[in-house]
Structure 1
Amino acid sequence: MAAQTFRFTHYDLKQLRAGTTVEVTLSAVNNVRLLTPGNFQRFSEKLDFKYTGGVAKKSPVRIVIPESGHWHLIVDAEGHAGLAESSVKMIAAPAAAAPRQQKAS
Structure 2
Amino acid sequence: MNFLHYTIRSGPDTIIRVNIDRRANIRLMDELNYHKYKMKKRYSFVGGLYDPPRAELRPLRQGEWHIVVDLEGLDGDVHAFVDLLRM
Report the TM-score range of the alignment, normalised by the length of the smaller protein: over 0.9
Query: Shift of the alpha carbon at 1:70?
Result: 1.0
* Structure 1 counterpart SS, 2:34: helix
Q: Distance in 1 between matches of 2:77 and 2:71?
A: 5
* Root mean square deviation of aligned Cα: 1.1
Where does residue 99 of structure 1 map in the other structure?
Answer: none
Work out the percentage of aligned pairs sharing the same amino acid. Answer: 24
Structure with greater strand percent: 2
Query: Shift of the alpha carbon at 1:34?
Result: 0.1
Poorly superposed stretches of 4+, deviation over 2 Å: none
Counterpart check, 1:30 vs 2:24: yes
Where does residue 100 of structure 1 map in the other structure?
Answer: none
Where does residue 18 of structure 1 map in the other structure?
Answer: 12
* Structure 1 counterpart SS, 2:53: coil
- Equivalences for residues 53-64 of structure 1 within 5 A: 53-64=47-58
Counterpart check, 1:39 vs 2:27: no
| TM-score when normalising by structure 1 | 0.77
Structure 2 unaligned segments of length 5 or more: list them: none
On the 8 A contact 2:21/2:52 being kept in 1, the answer is: no
Aligned length: 87
Counterpart check, 1:50 vs 2:76: no
On the 8 A contact 1:7/1:83 being kept in 2, the answer is: no
Counterpart check, 1:7 vs 2:2: yes
Query: Shift of the alpha carbon at 1:69?
Result: 1.2
* Structure 2 counterpart SS, 1:34: strand
Query: Shift of the alpha carbon at 1:59?
Result: 1.6
User: Which is further off, 48-57 or 61-70?
Assistant: 61-70
Counterpart check, 1:78 vs 2:54: no
Q: Greater CA radius of gyration, 1 or 2? A: 1
